Amino acid sequence: MSCSKNILQSMQNVFQTYSKMLQNSNGTKIENIDKPVYWDLVVLTTFDDVQKACFEQQINEKRASGQLPEVCIQVISDPPKEKLGCGGSTLHVLQILLKQYEDKLYDKRILIIHSGGSSQRLPSYSVIGKIFSPVPVKNLAVGNSIPQMLDLKLAKYLEFAELLRPGVFVTCADDIETYSLNLKDSSGLQSADVVALAHPSPIEIGEGHGVYVISSPQKSSSFARCSTVEDVQEVLQKPNMETMRSKGAVIKSVAENGAVEEQIFSDSVFWLSHKVCQALLMWYADNNPLDSELDAYAHFLPCFGTRMKDVKPENYKDYRSQMLPILSGFKMKVILLNESNFYHIGTMKEYLQHFCEMESFNKELGLINNTSNIDNPFKNGHRYESEMSLGKVKGVVIQSHFYNSCIVSAPEDCKVLLEYCQIGVPISVQGDIILSNCIIQECPTVKIFGCINLFDNLLYHTSPIHQNERKSYVTVAFDLDSDMKRKTHCYSELVLFGKPLSHLLDISGYTERNITSGVEHGGMVSLWTVKIFPKGNSAAESFWLTHHLVSNSKQHGNRAQQIEISVCNESLFYSMSDVVELKDIDTLIKDRNDLNDL
């Protein structure tokens, strides 16, 4: 993706307007500003009450430090043991809000951010939630704090709060849209019951997303600078290329080199009028609890569009058969954001790629690539002189602290992301890596021999836990491409540190009894549930114990040891699932606040 100057300028204008809405860090209000129309209520969803309490604690911390505008932020958890999907969760939220506000609910502008779940594919945010992951936008920073995904979500939909009538604006915690609105005529939105944002995308993207078939596609070229409001004929859900062509979703254009390019308009966030919400709530009152996941993108949106009025409900075998009679009569419009980009950050590799490699993402948001205490935290590993450069290593450092003139040595073009780390010993990385919340420095129980070599394609993440009234730390490590959700009866089918998990059993002395997390779905196990990570009395000790485990697995018997551990390791090990369950959020927040003060 190329960076658009118009998008960059538009996003910076939005961020600057939003920043004026914030309180000062001492809690006093900023006076004499024209406050824009904004959300009356913001809702974050969570998968249970424990995650709800964790979110509320972090929101309170942010509010106390002046990082939030004057808006009510409510956290609502899903019902126990129910998998609702984003559609079911939306209806659950609205049902609760209706009980609280009664008919006054329908006068409110509501932003719902679906942010629950265990974040298994990005385990560094399984404990605190992806909505609190750092996004170091320069124009959103308050004091020395690092802006988070929540701040970005609260800021970047500012224009739509004013543009749209009272209703419900729905988004998720792991996607980011950048755009230049530049909408000359918004009159078409006044009669809309549903409004969605649409982004110009290559036809290949459509196979993994929702695709809008609009009434007049040829006049809505991706090269136009203005956004337009268009009628929707049909919403396709993850269609193949032939379906997109036959349904009229494809717009052809000729590139400068003469090649014919095919583009579609893909989905992202959407808005529902309160009239639509009322109709859905009537259905939900009769069908709650749900017997399976209700997906807003798969089951709501495909029921809208002018072509759907004559479609028979019996054509579908899923929730669409029930949704179609309710929704097909409502009018849907899309705002074609002809200058926009859509970014999804849901996995370890996506997280690393976006922050370290994707120029358009970084420039359009105005991200800072180094918020550490030193100017040059990286050295090209192929050079042996003291020359250092952020330009050669694709490195990003977020709120980390370096001691004793230590830096990170890495190969050219290597992607390295450090967040909330403390580095007190020289480090050399072999390739792409994420270090999250790690303290890598000397500790009494570990003897270090020279520079520490970290293997590539890994995520390390340290988290405090609380068990039996004792505080300790566990560092987890996974391959960046680990299949965290795969469940199997056979350990050899799970891959960790580039090798079958059975290899780790062979060389570590672990037994199946050590690492099983109890019987799960007929005795099946996954990387999420296997107990393989030792705990340490400190964050540093925890890191070295797990690094020792990784090294043994990667180079068993092939290299001299870089560290010598004298701690008596317990026979009790922890899984990522355990870490989430035993999380010590008080200590985690305190550790990060202490890091800010260094």
Average pLDDT over residues 574-596: 94
Query: In which band, very low, low, confident or very high, does the pLDDT at 596 lie, cut at 50, 70 and 90?
Result: confident
Report CA torsion sign: 522, 528, 534, 538.
Answer: negative
Helix (H) or strand (E) holding 210: strand 210-214
Percent of the chain whose predicted confidence (pLDDT) is above 70 = 91
CA distance 401 to 47: 33
pLDDT digits (tens, 9 = 90+) for 416-460: 999 999 999 999 999 999 999 999 999 998 888 888 999 999 999
Query: In which band, very low, low, confident or very high, does the pLDDT at 77 lie, cut at 50, 70 and 90?
Result: very high
Q: Residue 457: CA atoms inside 13 Å, Cβ hemisphere, count?
A: 9
CB 492 within 8 A of CB 360: no
pLDDT digits (tens, 9 = 90+) for 357-375: 999 999 999 999 999 999 9
* pLDDT for position 25: 41
Exposed (0-12), middle (13-18) or buried (19+): which is 263, by Cβ within 10 Å?
A: buried
What single letter denotes the amino acid at residue 204?
E
Helix (H) or strand (E) holding 192: none
CB atoms within 10 A of CB 103: 8
CB 129 within 8 A of CB 118: no
Q: Flag the least confident range among 23-37, 83-97, 130-144, 193-207.
A: 23-37
Residue 232 pLDDT more than 70? Answer: yes
CA distance 459 to 415: 12
Q: Residue 57: CA atoms inside 13 Å, Cβ hemisphere, count?
A: 16
SS3 439: strand
C-alpha separations of 574 from 99, 476, 535, 583 in Å: 41, 9, 7, 12
Residue 215 pLDDT more than 60? Answer: yes
CA distance 422 to 146: 16
Query: In which band, very low, low, confident or very high, does the pLDDT at 474 lie, cut at 50, 70 and 90?
Result: very high
Average pLDDT over residues 20-49: 78
CB 594 within 8 A of CB 400: no
Asked if residue 136 has a cis previous peptide bond (ω within 30° of 0), the answer is no
* pLDDT for position 294: 97
* pLDDT for position 563: 79
* pLDDT for position 269: 98
Q: Flag the least confident range among 247-261, 355-369, 391-405.
A: 247-261
* pLDDT for position 387: 39
* pLDDT for position 571: 63
Q: Flag the least confident range among 89-93, 246-250, 257-261, 346-350.
A: 257-261
Residue 345 pLDDT more than 90? Answer: yes
CA distance 137 to 120: 25
To 5 degrees, how large is the angle CA 556–CA 562–CA 567?
A: 90
Q: Flag the least confident range among 189-198, 253-262, 558-567.
A: 558-567
Residue 509 pLDDT more than 80? Answer: no
Average pLDDT over residues 521-540: 88
Residue 384 pLDDT more than 50? Answer: no
Enter the pTM of the model: 0.94
CA distance 41 to 110: 5
* pLDDT for position 393: 80
pLDDT digits (tens, 9 = 90+) for 543-565: 999 999 999 898 865 555 677 88
pLDDT digits (tens, 9 = 90+) for 80-128: 988 899 999 999 999 999 999 999 999 999 999 999 989 999 999 999 9
